[in-house]
């Protein structure tokens, strides 16, 4: 099964670029304003264009993943993202930059869902949250690269040259995805992961591993009509990830520039601590959920509470804290507890049949990116003056959103599988008893 790491590796490389594009606007916003003479509202529109495109493509991503297959889906649409990056690099007007960003958003929207399907068909159930955490960690390395390093290279080479280089790299990854990725181990003559798990468990889980095809209409009805299995998570994800993108993906850099007067290299470095925190948070949350608690919901609720407290700190101390070192610490914990969201995909996967894991994951994934699009645009309308008071209003709005999100996730459902896993860990895990007994 060593082949699965090659498959995971090329898809993780594609996901690196997903995050790079997602937060790149924050690092090059001053360059775009200088090049095209546009306002903060226009920059917010540009950043949200990615999220609108990404949101619209989530259900198609799930349906194509379940019907067309992860390999074809990732390869074709990563090629489209490469074309969007190249268009951005050669753009002579702000409208062309927006068009390029929409193409990028549509293209990279087709990476995450197929990759999650690959993880579900190539890896064991008790590896899912951990692998999801690793994938998100790799993505956040992309976010790190879109902060300090992007700010540096855009200063040295020019922001458009950076996007041309990025287009070439994306093109190479699209080719690699086609050459290396296979949808299932069976496509290479290997046993399925369900068969492997059944052998490891004395055959008791073979029936559970069935992947009979479920019609599209039935899959959508099962997902959107499932009540507490789906909707509390959807509301939580809308506000939670939307608030992440308002700060990390758009206004953290301009806040440090407009209010604190920091240079690009300084605030670029400070912003990288968000991505660093997410890397540690994703992997930590996945491990705790898989190996220590066994629960998905408890990890999500705890992470949401802590992340909400960080937003309270950001709002309350805005303008009074001027030290880059202090904001490095704040940003790290912002990213760390924000990274706990990765467990949500494991929770939603366990509540529905594996045959529709692409559709259910895609349905959930509509909401974080809708939240990113809507909250970024709303924040752009608030920040007409780019004053401390305007930024404080945005931070307060994000705090209120996270209070709502935390209440919502507390009403979410935990699967029977998760309860059984948690029970086994409580019974056999001395570390669990030491920490939580």
pLDDT tens track for 40-89: 778 888 888 888 888 889 889 888 888 888 999 999 999 999 999 999 88
Task: Give the percent of the chain with pLDDT over 70.
Answer: 91
Q: Calculate mean pLDDT across residues 198-213.
A: 54
Q: Does 190 map to a domain?
A: no
How confident is residue 432, by pLDDT bands cut at 50, 70 and 90?
very low
The angle subtended at Cα 310 by Cα 306 and Cα 312, nearest 5°, is 115
pLDDT of residue 193: 64
pLDDT-above-90 percentage for the chain: 42
Write down the pLDDT at residue 268: 81
- Look at residue 291 and tell me if it is in a domain: yes
pLDDT of 437 reads: 43
**How many Å apart are CA 138 and CA 161, to the nearest integer?**
24
Higher-pLDDT residue of 214, 413: 413
DSSP 8-state secondary structure symbol assigned to residue 192: P
| pLDDT of residue 188 exceeding 60 | yes
Domain presence at residue 302: yes
Dihedral Cα 357, 281, 250, 264, nearest 10 deg:
-140
- Say whether pLDDT at 238 is over 90: yes
Q: Tell me if 221 is assigned to some domain.
A: yes
Whether residue 334 has pLDDT greater than 50? yes
386 lies in some domain: yes
Backbone CA torsion sign across 108, 109, 112, 115: negative
Banded pLDDT at 312 (limits 50, 70, 90): very high
In a domain, 19, yes or no: yes
**pLDDT computed for residue 261 by the predictor:** 94
In a domain, 332, yes or no: yes
The pLDDT of residue 434 is 37
**Mean local confidence (pLDDT), 337-364:** 86
Residue 115 domain boundaries: 3-183+216-436
Establish if 201 belongs to a structural domain: no
Name residue, tokens 């194509």: 64
At residue 183, φ and ψ (nearest 5 deg) are -65, -40
Cα–Cα distances (Å) from 330 to 20, 274, 304, 305, 400, in that order, read 21, 8, 16, 15, 19
User: Would you say residue 211 has pLDDT above 70?
Assistant: no
More confident residue, 110 or 203: 110
Rounded to a whole number of angstroms, the CA Rg of the chain reads 21
Q: How many domains does the chain have?
A: 1
Read off the pLDDT band of 344 (50, 70, 90).
Answer: very high
CATH of the domain at 125: 1.20.1250.20
pLDDT at residue 205 in the model? 45
Q: Which of 125-129, 216-220, 234-238, 295-299 has the lowest mean pLDDT?
A: 125-129
């Amino acid at each position: 099964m060593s082949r699965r790491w090659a498959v995971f590796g090329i898809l993780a490389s594609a996901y690196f670029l997903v995050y790079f594009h997602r937060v790149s606007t924050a690092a090059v916003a001053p360059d775009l304003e200088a090049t095209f003479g546009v306002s903060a509202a226009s920059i917010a529109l540009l950043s949200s264009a990615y999220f609108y495109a990404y949101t619209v493509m989530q259900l198609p991503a799930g349906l194509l993943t379940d019907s067309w297959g992860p390999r074809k889906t990732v390869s074709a649409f990563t090629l489209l993202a490469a074309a969007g990056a190249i268009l951005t690099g050669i753009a002579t007007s702000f409208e062309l930059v927006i068009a390029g960003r929409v193409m990028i958003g549509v293209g990279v929207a087709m990476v995450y869902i197929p990759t999650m399907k690959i993880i579900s068909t190539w890896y064991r159930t008790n590896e899912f949250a951990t692998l999801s955490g690793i994938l998100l960690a790799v993505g956040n390395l992309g976010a790190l690269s879109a902060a300090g390093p992007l700010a540096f290279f855009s200063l040295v080479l020019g922001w458009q040259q950076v996007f041309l280089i990025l287009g070439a790299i994306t093109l190479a990854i699209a080719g690699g995805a086609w050459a290396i990725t296979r949808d299932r181990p069976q496509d290479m003559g290997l046993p399925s992961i369900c068969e492997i798990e059944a052998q490891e468990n004395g055959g008791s889980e073979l029936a559970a591993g069935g992947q009979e095809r479920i019609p599209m209409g039935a899959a959508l009805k099962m997902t959107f009509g499932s009540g507490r299995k789906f909707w509390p998570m959807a509301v939580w994800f809308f506000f939670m990830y939307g608030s992440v993108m308002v700060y990390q993906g758009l206004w953290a850099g301009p806040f440090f520039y407009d209010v604190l007067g920091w240079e690009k290299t300084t605030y670029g470095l400070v912003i990288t601590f968000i991505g660093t925190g997410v890397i540690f948070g994703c992997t930590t949350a996945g491990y705790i959920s898989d190996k220590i608690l066994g629960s998905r919901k408890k990890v999500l609720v705890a992470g949401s509470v802590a992340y909400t407290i960080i937003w309270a700190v950001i709002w309350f101390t805005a303008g009074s804290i001027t030290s880059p070192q202090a904001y490095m610490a704040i940003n790290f914990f912002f990213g760390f507890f924000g990274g706990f969201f990765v467990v949500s995909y494991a929770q939603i996967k366990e509540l529905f049949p594996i045959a529709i894991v692409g559709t259910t994951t895609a349905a959930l994934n509509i909401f974080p990116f809708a939240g990113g699009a809507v909250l970024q645009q709303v924040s752009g309308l608030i920040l007409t003056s780019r004053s401390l008071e305007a930024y404080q209003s945005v931070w307060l709005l994000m705090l209120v959103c996270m209070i709502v999100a935390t209440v919502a996730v507390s009403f979410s459902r935990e699967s029977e599988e998760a309860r059984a896993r948690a029970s086994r860990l409580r019974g056999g895990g001395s570390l669990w008893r030491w920490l939580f007994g």
